[in-house]
A and B are shown apart, each in its own frame.
Chain A
Amino acid sequence: MGWQLIRGWAILVYIFMFLPVAVVVLLSFNASQFGSFPMTGLSFRWFIELANNEAILRAFRTSIILGLLTALISTTLGVLASLALVRYRVPGANAISTLLIAPILVPEVVLAVALLLFLNFLGINKSFTLLLFGHVIFTLPFVILVVQARLISIKRDVEEAAMSLGASPRQTFFQITLPLMMPAVLAGGLFAFTISFDDITGTLFWKPGGVETVPTQIFAMLRNSISPEINALGTVMIVMTVGLPLLGAAIARQISKKSGT
């Protein structure tokens, strides 16, 4: 009896959390002129309009380029930082580690304003580069957390064995260490991409005039009217931000299954 209640309650919680998402997805296929119930028929009309909307396409391109660059830079920096912190004796490693993780703990608005004020103080104008820089700052901790955890589990003696067999430190990294931490590197990169792709708070502060990412574009469109296009866009976003990590996790599992680690 008690378990039945708990189960029922759990289902209610899930409905509360996911119903809005389901509604957005559902309404994106609505044929009606207005993005609300009742549905008048099933149609891909809003997706087609979406595909023809220059502003949204531009925002999409910006978001994807921004996301990919963020992922690339964050992953590279994250791997290097993790290597330094885990494999070498760096003075103040603990402090550095905390400092690198800190952007997760600081509210994003505070971080956003702080970076903006700092660059104002330096007299640097807002630009795409600055936006990218901001995204790297708050995706980096996620990459470091994931990669560091993995690197700790890779035993040092595997690398020592490779070196004893004649591989230079560089060859050892590319032959042994990197392949072994690949699942974590991919996961970190994926995190960085989705976080960057999703972000609105920091982006609103940092984006230069005229540049819109998907979230800021939606935000701007919402100010005019609730167009059904937004539902379609929402659906696309959900597919990207939920589907990509799931895909990535599946790939990572596949890789680690093969290597047996």
Chain B
Amino acid sequence: MSSVTLKNIVKRFGTFTAVHQANLEIPEGDFVTLLGPSGCGKTTNLRMIAGLLDPTEGEIQIGGKRVNDIPIHKRNLGIVFQNYALFPHKTVAENVAFGLKYRDVPKSEVASRVQAALDLVQLPDVGDRYPKALSGGQQQRIALARAIVIEPDVLLLDEPLSALDANLREDMRVELKRIQSQIGVTTVFVTHDQSEALAMSDKIVVMSAGRIEQVGTPEEVYNTPASEFVANFLGASNILNGTCLGKTGSDVAVETPLFGSVPVPAGKASGLDHGPAKLVLRSEKLTLLAPGADTTGMITAPATVETVDYQGQTVRYFIRMGDTQLQAINLIDERPFPEGTEVTAAFRAKDCAALPGA
């Protein structure tokens, strides 16, 4: 187990810069997720840590040692690929034992370690089969067993769940997290799926267009987004242009045309001073109420339901307030408001965050 450090990493492909000046500190034993849309540089970062790509500039350290010039097969990493990448001509047991061949593991110990790894991924009886005889989820478990049996310093997971179907994906998510905390290996996980990132990570690194936008715990990046991109990428947010009126007590007042002055908790409005500001209002925190409902302690404004996107347990409304359209995601109580209904849009100021305006 080792920490991983990226120092001023730049990666260019020809004239295209895939990663700009990435700095990242991954403590020993942490589960860190690189999250972002495709093309944001998250996989490039992972492949540089793996040694599958060379950084153009900067330094990569594993366990405090510079590894830029150490080839992949000497880095002692476990990698799990999106498409499993099992060796089709070897049995499951041979697949799992593969990495042990290149380490000084006595022959007598190989079988027991392979079995222990198969037990850990809860597939103890498939050692004699060939990978093609297993389902996608099982193959991914074997790939995980193969990566951890060598006791890697760092476990790298490259979208390991995205080839699985939805139900299986959620099971595997829980499973993966269980195994990771059981063996306590430093883990770097790459995904474009925000719910995976939120559910599994100790820390999330949100990336966009080759830049690290924010590093923080799941709660931090969700509740206190550092940029408009982060606010939009993790869940749906309404971003309202406004003006910061300055600090009053423990709050920062942000004035928006739709809702008047909103007292945002200072902790969620860092770096904000008088001048242009943006109010971040999460769609899940914007509640629609029938006119006349009790709205004590809430900030309200009248609105009209424009579009109703029914999703079973929840409903996503697009509401119109003057010439602005906002999104609200609400749990359904009895039945959703039909289109055209006049409602009250309400939220609590402490659920908002604020960003410096453009």
Asked if A160 and B103 make an inter-chain contact with CB atoms under 8 angstroms apart, the answer reads no
With A167-B73, A259-B130, A260-B132 already in contact, the answer to whether A162 and B98 are too (CB < 8 A) is: yes
**Interface residue count for B (Cβ, 8 Å)?**
33
B212 within 8 A of A: no
Q: Determine if A176 is an interface residue (Cβ-Cβ < 8 Å).
A: yes
Knowing A157-B83, A259-B130 touch, does A165 contact B89 (C-beta < 8 A)?
A: no
**Complex-state Cα separation, A176 to B101, whole angstroms:** 14
Does chain A have a CB within 8 A of B114? no
User: In the complex, are the beta carbons of A160 and B87 less than 8 A apart?
Assistant: no
| A161–B147 alpha-carbon span in the complex (Å) | 9
A149 CB within 8 Å of chain B: no
Given known A171-B102, A260-B130, A260-B132, contact A164–B77 (CB-CB < 8 A): yes
Instruction: Give the complex CA separation of A164 and B144 in angstroms.
Output: 13
Q: Within B72-112, which residues are at the interface with A (CB < 8 Å)?
A: 72-79, 81-83, 85-89, 98-99, 101-103
Q: Which of chain B's residues have a CB closer than 8 A to the CB of A172?
A: 73
Contacting pair B52 A160 (CB below 8 A): yes
Contact of B85 among A161, A175, A179 (CB under 8 A): A161
Q: Please indicate the chain A residues that have their CB under 8 angstroms from the CB of B98 in the complex.
A: 162, 165, 167, 175
Partner of A164, one of B78, B87, B132: B78
A259-B99 contact in complex given A155-B83, A160-B52, A163-B73, C-beta closer than 8 Å: no
Q: How far is the CB of A207 from chain B (nearest CB, A)?
A: 41
Q: By the criterion CB–CB under 8 Å, are A259 and B89 in contact?
A: yes
Q: CB within 8 A of B76: which of A155, A158, A166?
A: A166
For residue B44, give the distance in angstroms from its CB to the closest CB of chain A: 14
- Indicate whether B221 reaches chain A with its CB closer than 8 angstroms: no
Chain B residues numbered 110-145 whose CB sits less than 8 Å from any CB in chain A: 130-133, 143
Q: Which residue of B lies closest to A166 (CB)?
A: B102
Interface size class of A (residues with CB under 8 A): 20 to 34
State whether the Cβ of A168 lies closer than 8 Å to any Cβ in chain B.
Answer: yes
* Least Cβ–Cβ distance between A169 and chain B, in angstroms: 8
Separation of A171 and B98 alpha carbons in the complex (Å): 11
Question: Is the Cβ of B103 less than 8 Å from the Cβ of A260?
Answer: no
- Which residues of A224-261 are within 8 A (CB) of B? 258-261
Q: For chain A, residues 99 to 114, give those with C-beta under 8 angstroms from any C-beta of chain B.
A: none
**Once the chains bind, are A161 and B79 in contact (CB under 8 Å)?**
yes
Q: Which residues of A contact B74 (CB under 8 A)?
A: 166
Instruction: Check: A180 CB closer than 8 A to any chain B CB.
Output: yes
Return chain B residues, CB-CB under 8 Å to A261: 88-89, 132
Q: Nearest chain A CB to B39's CB is how many angstroms away?
A: 19
- Asked if B50 is at the interface (CB within 8 A of a chain A CB), the reply is yes
Residues on B with C-beta less than 8 A from A260 are 88-89, 130-133
Does any Cβ of A come within 8 Å of B11's Cβ?
no
Tell me whether A176 and B87 are in contact in the complex, defined as CB-CB below 8 angstroms, given that A160-B72, A164-B72 are known contacts: yes
How far is A171 from B73 in the complex, measured between Cα atoms in Å? 10
Q: Is B150 an interface residue (CB 8 A)?
A: yes
Residues of B within 8 A of A258 (CB): 89
Q: Report if B278 contacts A (CB, 8 A).
A: no
Name the CB-closest residue of A to B88: A261
B71, B76, B79 interface centre (most CB from chain A within 10 Å): B79
B152 nearest CB neighbor, chain A only: A164
Which residues of chain B come closer than 8 Å to A155, judged between CB atoms? 83, 85
Most buried by A among B76, B88, B102, B132: B88
Tell yes or no: B146 within 8 A of A by CB: yes
Q: Is A168 within 8 A of B73, CB to CB?
A: yes
Report if A180-B89 is in contact (Cβ < 8 Å); known contacts: A164-B50, A259-B130. yes
**Is A160 a contact partner of B102 (Cβ separation < 8 A)?**
no
B130 touches A165 (CB 8 A): no
Q: Write 7 A-B pairs (CB below 8 A) sorted by A numbering.
A: A160-B85, A165-B99, A166-B99, A166-B102, A166-B150, A260-B131, A260-B133
